[in-house]
């Protein structure tokens, strides 16, 4: 059971704060609902009786947030070459509600986008995964959405440069044949 003010995650939608718990009569059936305030002033109603069944959970703590950000700093994990299989695998990771799996999807699809580009479906998936990831990290880290979006992009760009840039961009001929000693002159 969650309480008003709890910060929770609703898989496939992201993280928010329970604004209230209200009893609603929908189609003649009275139920109690969590009214979840999501980023962008969106409100979502979740039946309290089904919350845990659909995967609602508390947000991660600061230590776990650091581990999630660490995932963005690693090399991509193996993904299937077949688009349909890869899409299904990534969708399963996102549906799991596991923030570590969502971070894995964000990093892997971001790398793929930088290397070859993404299909329309995978672009939508990447945007959705980023929104889910950022919304939870914003609440866990007590920061703004803009700051967290920038942090996520910076971590992905840095890890991509570390693990993939050499494979894509050949070393500059100038750097290869004219060593730079860092002092500004080559005496």
What pLDDT is stored for residue 10 in this prediction? Answer: 92
- pTM comes to 0.84
Cα-Cα end-to-end distance for the chain: 71
CATH, domain 7-58, list 2.40.10.170, 2.120.10.80, 3.40.1440.10, 2.60.40.10: 2.40.10.170
Q: Are 34 and 45 in contact (CB under 8 A)?
A: yes
What pLDDT is stored for residue 142 in this prediction? Answer: 94
Burial 121-143 (b: 16+ CB within 10 A, else e): ebeebbebbbbbbbbbbbbbbee
- pLDDT (tens place) for every residue of the chain, 187 residues total: 899 999 999 998 899 999 999 999 989 999 999 999 988 788 999 999 999 999 999 999 999 999 999 999 999 999 998 889 999 999 999 999 999 999 999 999 999 999 989 999 999 999 999 999 999 999 999 999 999 999 999 999 999 999 987 655 444 444 444 455 555 554 4
Rounded-to-integer distance, Cα 28 and Cα 187, Å:
86
What pLDDT is stored for residue 187 in this prediction? Answer: 47
What pLDDT is stored for residue 83 in this prediction? Answer: 87
For CATH 2.40.10.170, the residue range(s) in the chain are 7-58
What pLDDT is stored for residue 41 in this prediction? Answer: 82
Give 48's DSSP letter. Answer: G
DSSP-derived 3-state class of residue 103: helix
What pLDDT is stored for residue 167 in this prediction? Answer: 59
Quote the crossing angle between the two packed helices 120-141 and 62-72, to the nearest 10°: 150
Q: Which of 43, 51, 44, 47 is nearest to 30 (CA)?
A: 47
Architecture of domain 62-168: Up-down Bundle (1.20)
């Amino acid at each position: 059971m969650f309480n008003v003010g709890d910060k929770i995650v609703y898989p496939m939608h992201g993280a928010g704060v329970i604004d209230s718990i209200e009893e609603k009569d929908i189609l003649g059936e009275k139920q109690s609902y969590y009214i979840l305030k999501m980023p962008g002033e969106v409100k979502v109603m979740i039946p309290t009786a089904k919350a845990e069944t659909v995967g609602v959970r508390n947000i991660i703590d600061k230590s776990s947030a650091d581990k999630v950000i660490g995932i963005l700093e690693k090399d991509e994990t193996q993904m299937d070459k077949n688009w349909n299989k890869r899409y299904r695998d990534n969708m399963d990771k996102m549906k799991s509600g596991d923030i570590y799996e969502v971070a894995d999807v964000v990093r892997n699809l971001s790398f793929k986008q930088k290397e070859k580009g993404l299909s329309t479906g995978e672009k939508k998936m990447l945007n959705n995964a980023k929104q889910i990831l950022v919304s939870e990290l914003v609440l866990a880290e007590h920061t703004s959405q803009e700051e967290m979006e920038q942090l996520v992009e910076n971590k992905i760009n840095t890890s991509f440069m570390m693990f993939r840039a050499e494979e894509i961009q050949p070393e500059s001929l100038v750097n290869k044949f004219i060593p730079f000693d860092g002092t500004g002159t080559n005496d």
